[in-house]
Amino acid sequence: MTVMLIDDDSFILRVLTRQLRHLGLQHWGLSKVSACTDGQKALEAIEHGNSRIKLILCDLQMPGLDGVEMLRKLSEMRYPGALILVSGEDDRILHAAERLARALRLKVLGVLRKPVTEQSLSELLDRLSRESDSSRASVQTYSAAEVRNAIASEELINAYQPKVDVASGEVIGVEALVRWRHPRDGLLTPDHFIGIAEANGLMDDLTREVLSNALVQAVKWRQDGLDLSVAVNVSVKSLIHLDFPDYVAREAASAGVPLDRLKLELTESEVIRDVRTCLDILTRLRLKQIGLSIDDFGTGYSSLAQLRDLPFNELKIDYGFVHGACHDAERSAIVEASLNLARQLGINVVAEGAEDIDDWNYLRACGASQAQGYFIARPLPGAELPGWVATWNLRRPALLASAA
């Protein structure tokens, strides 16, 4: 299998070739290095030997065909191998190119700043084996009737992802995340059916189902001595019935969950059309002591204007800003500004996307109040939560002792 290097500078190509050979190509299932100073020629070679090229290292800044055009062409020819972007440009350009490559469905292992060190190179090469295992799984599509039937026949269940207090490690609450227990295809995540539900007017029914399941579960936990707040996702688009707050309050009361232990996390996929109705509903929810979170803050329509106009008492910083923030100047600037914003507005803040120990330590260092993410826990079945809390309490002392 070949690794192809594309850079307009032959000295740089020579250095990269030597580095790859010195690291040992065979560790990553590679056998040959092919170097190219011309993007156009490289493309021709890739097209002819398509399947034999396992990896391309491509410089962004080239005369003639530049790196971005190269990405577009690779995507057009459905290049199936992996890609590493290399550049002496600033990090913002490099990261924008990386996002573009992912959007074009290319398998990007990562980006390398020039000059490239052997260590950074071998770290990215290690991702090569992981990438090739996970082939691009195609998303099965379902019909509106199937989704409607799933809601009606109680095939939707909730998984629960814990949120913890960053300073004390205390478990504060959970976010309910819907899953479809499909009789044939197994447990499906929302990306398989939420779009279909939204497009076919099924979101109200779906939200009701999730809320009702979450309330039942919350009561079970209370009986086990776990007093957790429970958050349910609600699309702003579905806030069209003025009696929604009464409905939620009634459901919570009949289940036996105090209203101040219930939160609604609002996601927005488009501009709010009927501002009056939306404000009416949200304000009454708050008057009833139900919590309102602005979800995925900083992305899409989840914006400063919404924070100004709607009565949120919690802000959830999007995953995309939090994970990796300690290694990234842009992300950390955004996370810290969001924390400050929440502090000054006097509202609670949850950092989503705490995926590793670095994220956790970073959030502790910058004084985030609550965190959620794979580092703390993956979404769990409700019945497993008490067991997880016990394990978490064993992990807590070490996590709180680490440098903050």
Partner 1 sequence: MSRCPPLPAIDVEVLRAYLGNPDDDVLNEFMEAYRESARELVARLRDAATRAQWPEVERAAHRLKSSSSVIGAYALASACANLERAVGEGENSALRAMKEFDASADRVATALDALFTHSDAN
Least separation in angstroms between residue 10's CB and partner 1 is: 6
Q: Is the dihedral of CA 10, 15, 18, 24 positive or negative?
A: negative
Q: Which residue number, 90 or 133, has a Cβ lying nearer to partner 1?
A: 90
Q: Return the number of other C-beta atoms located less than 10 Å from residue 213's C-beta.
A: 18
Least separation in angstroms between residue 61's CB and partner 1 is: 6
Alpha-carbon distance of 253 to 394, in angstroms, equals 34
Least separation in angstroms between residue 24's CB and partner 1 is: 11
Q: Where are the alpha helices (DSSP H) in 180-243?
A: 194-199, 203-223
Please list every residue from 39 through 68 that binds partner 1, using CB under 8 A.
Answer: 61, 63
Task: Name the residue among 299, 275, 288, 274 with its Cα closest to residue 353.
Answer: 299
**Opening angle at CA 348, ends 263 and 321, nearest 5:** 100
Least separation in angstroms between residue 64's CB and partner 1 is: 11
Q: Does 12 bind partner 1 (CB under 8 A)?
A: yes
Task: Name the residue among 331, 326, 388, 327 with its Cα closest to residue 360.
Answer: 326
**Residue of the chain from 99, 103, 105, 115 that contacts partner 1 (CB under 8 A):** 115
Q: Which stretch binds partner 1 (CB under 8 A): 49-57, 114-122, 126-134, 392-400?
A: 114-122
Q: Does 22 bind partner 1 (CB under 8 A)?
A: yes
**Residue of the chain from 114, 222, 286, 288 that contacts partner 1 (CB under 8 A):** 114
Residues 63-102, mask of contacts with partner 1 (x by CB under 8 A): x------------------------x--------------
Alpha-carbon distance of 73 to 71, in angstroms, equals 5
Q: Which residue number, 118 or 154, has a Cβ lying nearer to partner 1?
A: 118
Residues 6+ apart with CB under 8 A from 327: 358
Q: Does 104 bind partner 1 (CB under 8 A)?
A: no
Question: Based on the number of CB atoms within 10 Å of its own CB, is 249 exposed (0-12), middle (13-18) or buried (19 or more)?
Answer: middle
Phi/psi for 276 (5° steps) reads -65, -50
Least separation in angstroms between residue 354's CB and partner 1 is: 35
- List interacting residues with partner 1 (CB under 8 A): 8-12, 14-15, 18-19, 22-23, 61, 63, 88, 114-118
